[in-house]
Amino acid sequence: MTKFIHSIESLSIWIGRAFGWCILILTLSVSYEVFVRYVLNSPTVWAFDMMVQMYGALFLMAGAYALAQDTHVRGDVIYRLIPKRWQAGIDFFLYVTFFFPGMLALFWYGAEIASDSWRYKEVSWNSPARIQIYFFKTLIPISGALLMLQGAAELARCWIAMKSNRWPDRIADVKETEDLLIDGDTN
């Protein structure tokens, strides 16, 4: 079962890393726009629209990555004090009761929205450039599907923890600086 979990985590990490490059593109775009707007007094029509779509794409597609790395916000004041078996049981219940219905709705209605958008070749009415947005709307159901896939891995992780009272290891990717300092690993 660990192989199943790690194969899904690997996919989530790969997609998260790929869309992480949006940060670099966004940084360069914002810098370019600031320069041409305030130094050359010649703002672009396209930069704002591109930035909005890039941010949206990044946050949609990084959801499964964040879930795979256990970096979503959690109020764990009491949670961390209870045995792992109970933590896993709570997580399992919450995934089945709330997460999967929410992600199924995101996938289902996102697919309807994307389908309609493709049918009409939808463009943004808020943009003077009238950019196409059906490509962007396609990421909504894709994100829902990836989150459900990663959610299945999380359910398997919960199942293992409920049986063994120990959380299975995650595929490590990056660490926060504070975690590195706490662990004493500064290399």
178 domain-assigned: no
186 domain-assigned: no
Query: How many domains does the chain fold into?
Result: 1
- Let me know: does 186 contact 37? Beta carbons within 8 Å: no
Q: Indicate the pTM of the whole model.
A: 0.85
C-beta atoms surrounding 51 within 10 Å = 16
- Let me know: does 50 contact 30? Beta carbons within 8 Å: no
134 domain-assigned: yes
47 domain-assigned: yes
127 domain-assigned: yes
Distance CA 64, CA 66 (A): 5
Query: Does position 175 have pLDDT exceeding 80, yes or no?
Result: no
39-60 pLDDT, tens digit per residue, is: 999 988 888 888 888 899 999 9
77 domain-assigned: yes
Give residue 187's pLDDT: 58
- Let me know: does 171 contact 9? Beta carbons within 8 Å: yes
28 domain-assigned: yes
Residue-range definition of the domain harbouring residue 82: 2-168
DSSP letter, residue 128:
T
179 domain-assigned: no
